[in-house]
């Protein structure tokens, strides 16, 4: 099995509940959404393996990725993107010799079913202001994905909400309330560099029903990948 990747590297997790843990990152190319703040290239002719400092031709084989996983000494392997769920079959073909950590936009419920074996899920709840089309439809699919990949004793699932300076707080509250029983808690993540006043007010309302933390993209402040 093969997949189109952008890069393979080791670093710290810079977002969410597990910020600071060391991870092997497998970044997939391609996404089914189009958020205005996206900083990931849509396509990649080649994949940069920053561990061996090699440029690999795409698509990259599962055997190659498996070797990287087996030789890494990390807290977990982070599948990120792009949207890794688009290539769920590729992830499912790998041996879990390290814990698997999935970062996803949570909009592909059929694919989510293939990834129940992941140990950590950092799932997005997108806000309307992200600029994505068919927002109601996306939201329904997100709730389905959280139900499928809900937090359990064996799988730690939390929800990340990326927030621009302006957003509909009531809509976010209602959506979060629908998801609250499936997650460990919520992370409110400001779009990098934006003001957080409104986000702090939202946190105050959300802590009535869930563990809600305001955490920025720490890797960007540290100037690491």
Residues making contact with ligand SF4 (CB under 6 A): 31, 33-35, 38, 40, 81-83, 105
Strand partners, 56: 47
**Taking a C-beta distance cutoff of 8 angstroms, is the pair 149, 122 a contact?**
no
Closer residue to ligand SF4 in complex, CB, 107/151: 107
Give me the least distance between CB of 96 and ligand SF4, in Å please.
Answer: 24
Burial class of residue 154, CB neighbours in 10 A (0-12, 13-18, 19+): exposed
The values of phi and psi at residue 193, to 5°, are 90, 0
Closer residue to ligand SF4 in complex, CB, 96/220: 220
Closer residue to ligand SF4 in complex, CB, 15/49: 15
Closer residue to ligand SF4 in complex, CB, 58/66: 58
Give me the least distance between CB of 25 and ligand SF4, in Å please.
Answer: 14
**Taking a C-beta distance cutoff of 8 angstroms, is the pair 76, 100 a contact?**
yes
Give me the least distance between CB of 90 and ligand SF4, in Å please.
Answer: 17
Closer residue to ligand SF4 in complex, CB, 98/103: 103
E strands along the chain, which residues?
A: 2-3, 5-12, 22-28, 46-49, 54-57, 60-61, 76-80, 100-104, 120-124, 156-163, 186-190, 212-214
Give me the least distance between CB of 204 and ligand SF4, in Å please.
Answer: 26
Give me the least distance between CB of 208 and ligand SF4, in Å please.
Answer: 28
């Amino acid at each position: 099995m093969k997949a189109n990747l952008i890069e393979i590297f080791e670093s710290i997790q810079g977002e969410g509940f597990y910020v600071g843990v060391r991870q092997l990152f497998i970044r997939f190319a391609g996404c089914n959404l189009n958020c205005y703040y996206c900083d990931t290239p849509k396509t990649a002719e080649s994949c940069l393996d920053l561990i061996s400092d090699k440029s690999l031709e795409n698509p990259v084989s599962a055997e190659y990725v498996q070797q990287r996983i087996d030789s890494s000494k990390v807290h977990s392997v982070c599948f990120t993107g792009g949207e890794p769920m688009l290539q769920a079959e590729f992830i499912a073909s790998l041996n879990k010799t390290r814990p698997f950590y999935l970062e996803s936009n949570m909009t592909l419920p059929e694919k989510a079913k293939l990834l129940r074996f992941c140990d950590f899920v950092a799932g997005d709840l997108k806000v309307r202001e992200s600029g994505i089309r068919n927002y109601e439809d996306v939201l329904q699919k997100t709730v389905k994905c959280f139900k499928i990949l809900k937090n359990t004793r064996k799988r730690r699932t939390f929800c990340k909400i990326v927030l621009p300076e302006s957003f509909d707080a009531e809509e976010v509250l209602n959506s979060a309330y629908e998801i609250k029983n499936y997650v460990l808690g919520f992370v409110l993540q400001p779009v990098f560099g934006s003001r957080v006043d409104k986000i702090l007010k939202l946190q105050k309302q959300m802590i009535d029903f869930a563990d809600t933390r305001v955490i920025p993209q720490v890797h960007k402040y540290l100037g690491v990948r």
